[in-house]
Structure 1
Amino acid sequence: MGITGPRNTNLPPGTRGWPILGETMEFPMLGPQKFDKNRMVKYLPEIFQTSLFLERTAIFCGAQGNKFVFTNDNKVLTSWWPQSLRKIFLVPQFLQKNIKDVSALQHRFYHDIFKLEALRQYIPLMDAQARDHLDHEWTPNEVVKVLPLTKKYTFELGCKLMLGVVDPEHIKRLADCFGQAVNGMLSVPIDFPGTNYTRAIKAGKTMREELIRIIRERRKEMMMENKEIEGRDLLSKMLLVTDEDGHSFSDLEIFINIIGLLVASFDTTSSAVTSVMNFLAQLPHIYEKVLEEQMKIAKLKGRDELLTWEDIEKMKFSWNVARESLRLIAAALGGFRETTAEFTCAGFTIPKGWKIFWTVHSSHKNPKYFREPEKFDPSRFDESGPAPYTFVPLGGGPGMCPGKEYAKLEILVFMHNVVTKFKHEKTIPDEKIVYYTSAMPECGLPVRLQPHGK
């Protein structure tokens, strides 16, 4: 793969689908994973073209495609969101703004705020929230559905740590809006009463208004009280971040940074936690090894003593289990880019202005990169782990998910609390995993709980 100057009409194989709509309807109906897999077999396993969201699009697959995208971000590629997603999530003032500018803004915010060193202080709060969640939502029940409960847990935690919102009713109202907005993310972008897309636009507007109100109230509060922010929520810290010229960011710019994090808490992170719970229920020998590791940590702590960074560092096998879960059932499905210059990829020309979609699953289950790819084997991550660009559940390069360390801590804290309290078994052993905006069990992963000691 490489960049080229001269124009070449050797475009990737594929079809543009229907006039105007292209294959936009099939993309959400099949789910990105099945959509890609079908065309990788029909055209090429490395690259093919289609038309999505009214845009000529090249789908990049495999480690080579990942490497090209991650190493060429901000060179011949830039961030891009479909206009349909912008209409749901962005305020009108940002609808036509270059997404590259929005993404650059995000990375300036996240560089300091989401460094692992900065996140360590939140581990005890994560632990306390997980304990409270399990006591109220899991312990009273014999059978629970994991997916809706992890959505509730990860979103509540996100609201508390990021926004300082603790009122359950307030969080529920926000969660309802986020749920409707996320459900419309990959729907056919036809704004007509009664459609998922129209409902998503309406929910997005309500969500924006509420978040901007919270931001403005917090700014006023901080100006009046002039309190220390050590240990406070991430919004309070964001309000103190300045650009290169020392200027604070506007309420709308702060909103842009918060929105992606909360969508991830509601959708992607909950999917990741659910995937881990799925394999722990499905594979007793893996569960027992995780339980052994986590009980060693628990036995060294007092009954009410919360987890710390030193405890997280001891969860090496548990983290390998989490990573292997994300390899087999990736929470994120890929991401969009826009080409800023013509280049060649795998011998094919990608013209300037085309959109790129890079895929996660196409390398995760490729036997070229992972021996016996359908086998659950946490030892793949021992020592140096998988080859570069083959394991990309959270992206890579400049486009790496800025919340990856936050997600890691959240997953490990939740694993610790579940396995030290319960053994759980699936009530639907062969439950199907479906893929839409993220991976999810078709029936929500109902499991039967067996509390330890009973």
Structure 2
Amino acid sequence: MEKMMIKGSRLTRLQRGFTSLPIDLPGTQFNRAIRGSRQLREEIKNIVTQRRIHLSTRKVDEDVDGLDILSSLIMDTSSDGQGLSDSEIASKLYGVIVSGYDTFSSTLAAIVMCLAELPHVYDAVLKEQRQIAESKAAGELLNWADIQKMKYSWSVACEVMRLLPPNSGTFREATSDFVYEGYLIPKGMKLKWSVHSTHKNPEHFPDPEKFDPSRFDGQGPPPYSFVPFGGGPRMCPGKEYSRLKMLVFMHNVVTRYRWEKVFPDEKFVWNPALVSTKGLPIRVFPHNKSQSN
């Protein structure tokens, strides 16, 4: 079966295009983003076509449980029996891929940085992940039950997202007039909301600049004080998928390697998404080996 492999360079072009001046002239970032978007859509459309051919060869009585999102979109039909075209499916998958690329990659980089800077946190994550690895048979893959055991690792990931959220905030439009702390906010006014207003609020997170995964023990922080995925009806639908990918990444990397930052003082900034100032180069040391990769 075909594999869905999308080049990161295309996604990087799109990322830069989002924040560039909207000038569609050859050589501009905006123009490169548009071309990258077209190329990415065509790549996805080709994958959809290949998967449709594969599904057409399935036996009628073959079990359909466990289908991935691509197969589900192909097989789904509306009340009139019509299905989505390859172009429509490609557009939906395009949105999923692009929306999850920047935030997820920057969060993984932030996790790598924090584990490099905090050896005691790294050691605790390694201990938890080694216990899970030792419970598996040779060659056995992680399963959902293993993910549920990664409680400390997920607390670490949450603390990373609290201190270094992938997005610094967002704009919202007031849908009606209201008063906030004595100020009248008129309908239609654009409001800038920052995650730092809650993520670093000492009322909810004492000593807010300190890295402390124990904040997420038990029931965790108060509702709507920690919102890297939003909240309420607008919560990110990819929250659980992101959690799964983060923990699988942490398991596979931590159980194999230890690492250190090439530039010890390197930091992350929002521009507008979270990025490292120097690309976060690291030196990697495989476990049980004296020589680094």
Q: What TM-score do the two structures reach when normalised by structure 2?
A: 0.86
Quote the Cα distance in structure 1 between the aligned partners of 2:286 and 2:90.
42
Task: Please state if 1:201 is matched with 2:34.
Answer: yes
Question: CA separation of 1:234/1:327 partners in 2, compared to 1, >3 Å: closer, same or farther?
Answer: same
2:198 to 363, 373, 379: 363
Is the 8 Å Cα contact of residues 52 and 74 (structure 2) preserved in structure 1?
Answer: yes
Count of residues in correspondence between the two structures: 285
1:344-365 residue CA offsets vs partner (Å, 9 max, x unmatched): 251422324x545533233212
Shift of 1:324: 0.2
Query: Are the equivalent residues in 2 in contact too, given 1:165–1:171 (CA < 8 A)?
Result: no
Matched, 1:343 2:177: yes
| TM-score normalised according to structure 1 size | 0.58
Once the two structures are TM-superposed, the CA of residue 271 in structure 1 deviates from its matched residue by: 1.2
Structure 1: 5+ residue runs without aligned partners?
A: 1-159
Q: Measured at CA, do residues 396 and 241 of structure 1 come closer, stay the same or move farther in structure 2, by a change above 3 Å?
A: farther
Residues in 2 aligned to 1:397 and 1:426: alpha-carbon distance in whole angstroms: 38
Amino acid corresponding to residue 165 of structure 1 in structure 2: K
Q: In structure 1, what is the equivalent of residue 72 of structure 2?
A: 237
1:137 corresponds to: none
Q: Which residue of 2 aligns with 1:384?
A: 219
CA deviation vs aligned residue, 1:61-116 (integer Å, no higher than 9, x gap) = xxxxxxxxxxxxxxxxxxxxxxxxxxxxxxxxxxxxxxxxxxxxxxxxxxxxxxxx
Q: CA deviation at 1:276?
A: 1.1
Paired amino acid for 1:176? S
Structure 2 counterpart of 1:255: 90
Shift of 1:216: 4.0
User: Alpha-carbon deviation of 1:294?
Assistant: 1.1
Q: Percent identity of the aligned residues?
A: 46
Judged with a 3 Å threshold, the aligned counterparts in structure 2 of structure 1 residues 256 and 365 are, in CA distance, closer, same or farther, namely farther
Separation of aligned partners in 1, 2:171 and 2:76: 28
Q: Report if aligned partners of 1:319, 1:412 keep a CA contact under 8 Å in 2.
A: yes
Question: How far has the Cα of 1:336 moved from its partner?
Answer: 4.6
Task: Report the equivalent of 1:266.
Answer: 101
Q: Verify the 8 A CA contact 1:320 1:379 in the aligned structure 2.
A: yes
Structure with more of its chain in helix, by fraction: 1
- Pair 203,342 (structure 1): closer, same or farther in 2 beyond 3 Å: same
Secondary structure at the aligned position of 1:450 is classed as: strand
1:332 counterpart letter in structure 2: N
Aligned 8 A contact 1:423 1:451 in 2: yes
SS at match of 2:258: strand
Structure 1 CA distance for aligned equivalents of residues 235 and 40 of structure 2? 26
- The answer (yes or no) to whether the contact 1:312–1:409 under 8 Å persists in 2 is yes
CA distance in 1, matches of 2:149, 2:113: 22
2:187 aligned partner, one-letter code: P
Distance across 1 between alignment mates of 2:254 and 2:52: 40
| Conservation of the 8 A alpha-carbon contact between 1:185 and 1:437 | no
Kindly indicate whether residue 276 of structure 2 is the aligned counterpart of residue 425 of structure 1: no
Paired letter, 1:276 = I
Q: Give the C-alpha shift of residue 301 in structure 1.
A: 1.6
Q: Distance in 1 between matches of 2:77 and 2:166?
A: 32
Choose which of 112, 118, 127 in structure 2 pairs with 1:292: 127
Amino acid at match of 2:267: K
Measure the CA separation in 2 of the matches of 1:219 and 1:413.
Answer: 29
Instruction: Tell me the C-alpha RMSD between the 2 structures.
Output: 2.5
1:402 deviates by 0.9
* Native 8 Å contact 1:330 1:393 kept in 2: yes
Q: Distance in 1 between matches of 2:78 and 2:224?
A: 32
Q: Distance in 2 between matches of 1:182 and 1:393?
A: 19
Distance apart, 1:388 and its partner CA = 1.5
User: CA offsets per residue over residues 297-356 of structure 1, 9 Å max, x none?
Assistant: 1111223121111111111111100100111111233345455x433251422324x545
User: Higher relative contact order by CA 8 Å / sep ≥ 6: 1 or 2?
Assistant: 1
